Amino acid sequence: MTIIEPKIRHDISEYNKALIAFTSLNQLLAELRTKELPSEIIDFINSKIKDFNALPDAGVDFRRHIVKMQSGIYNQLEKETGLVPKGFYKHRWLALGMVVFGLPMGIVIGPIIGNIGFMGVGLPIGLMIGAVLGAQKDKKALAEGKQLDIVM
């Protein structure tokens, strides 16, 4: 079973951002065609593409449909097979590091120093911790062969 092609809209060239998103979608699908995927994932992707192909011609909100479909495919891939794009964990852990590590550090550092204005000092520290943890998880995914050769 193979992944079907998304329908090319002739008026998409009028919308630059939609054209960029459509190109990114085609790159994702081309990369997925090189991987051995379970039939459930291929069926899921094909159903998303069929829904996409049923949409009317490109318009202002066309990019939103492309991005929504692409993120749904990424989420399903990660959940079912563990496949992720390059930098996936780094971007996810940047935010988690700020919330999980940085905010509590700032809450502790501010009162210790005696100036609550220093509460924001923990955020960049958490950002760095999150970036390091995410980069480690990205390296692990690459070593296990679970990383796609595209950037999200």
pLDDT at residue 89, as a whole number: 92
Cα–Cα distance between 65 and 85 in angstroms, integer? 20
Higher pLDDT, 49 or 15: 49
* Helical pair 88-97 and 122-143, crossing angle rounded to 10 deg: 150
Joined together, the tokens standing for residue 27 give 């790159």
Cβ–Cβ contacts within 10 Å for residue 34, how many?
Answer: 9
User: Which residues, 6 or more positions from 38, have their beta carbon under 8 angstroms from its beta carbon?
Assistant: 80, 81
pLDDT at residue 64, as a whole number: 87
pTM reported for the whole predicted model: 0.79
pLDDT tier, 59 (very low <50, low <70, confident <90, very high otherwise):
low
